[in-house]
A = this chain, B = another copy of it.
Amino acid sequence: MFDIVYLLEMLGIIAFAISGMIVARAKNMDPVGVFTIGFITALGGGTLRDLILDNHPVYWIKHQEQPVLILVMAILFSYWKHADRLRTSQIVIPDAVGLGVFSILGAQLALDLGHSWLIASFLGVMTGTFGGALRDTLCNEVPQIFRKDQVYASVSFAGCWLYFFCQSLLGNEALPLTIGVAFIAIVRILAVRYDIRLQRDANHQ
């Protein structure tokens, strides 16, 4: 069990760090800004989760290799020529992967600590969305979670419940985790690509 959770965590950190660094580069920030936004995007959601659940030490303090990885990524990213052509619209895939991973891992940690499915699903959504919301706020973008034209928090919420049901059926193994993460990431990417919304507005104000 340790391996798959840890591997997913690294995948989520890398994905969210990339999404943060793309936005930071697109905003023409210097290397310190690129690192800071990457760090906050990748570790913000999990830090909020650990604070609310009183789960100490906070995970990136326990796993120092994670901030080091983000530091190395930021250095490479800052001096990578091709990064000049990046645009904020290119974060869809890494952002969706990060959303999927952190939603499911946030929910799983809440379950491990003995909380109900309901509380776990709220914690999952918070863990999945908070890092990206900070990234967008700090870079003066409207956070994805508040854009009317896209499903975001609702995919995270649905994915958490899908994960709970798969886990009940299949036991607490790698397969339910993978299903939950894949569901959120794929539905999110499809929603952006095909412009799926939860509610059409009747009134345009």
Residues of A within 8 A of B (CB): 28-33, 36, 39, 47, 51-54, 56-58, 61, 64, 67-68, 78, 84, 115-116, 118-119, 122, 138, 143, 145-146, 148, 151-154, 157, 197-199, 201, 203, 205
Contact = CB atoms under 8 A, between A and B. Distances in A.
A41 B122 CA distance: 15
B119 A29 contact: no
A199 B58 contact: no
A170 to B, nearest CB: 26
A2 B133 CA distance: 37
Contacts of A47: 52
A29 B64 CA distance: 39
A70 to B, nearest CB: 10
Contacts of A122: 39, 67
A119 B51 contact: no
Contacts of A198: 30-32
A138 B146 contact: yes
A58 B64 contact: no
Nearest to A138: B146
B29 A146 contact: yes
Contact of A28 (B36, B153, B205): B205
Contacts of A56: 54
A64 B47 CA distance: 22
A121 to B, nearest CB: 10
A22 to B, nearest CB: 14
Contacts of A157: 32
A89 to B, nearest CB: 15
Contact of A148 (B28, B36, B57): B28
A86 to B, nearest CB: 11
Contact of A32 (B31, B68, B138, B154): B154
Contact of A58 (B30, B52, B84): B52
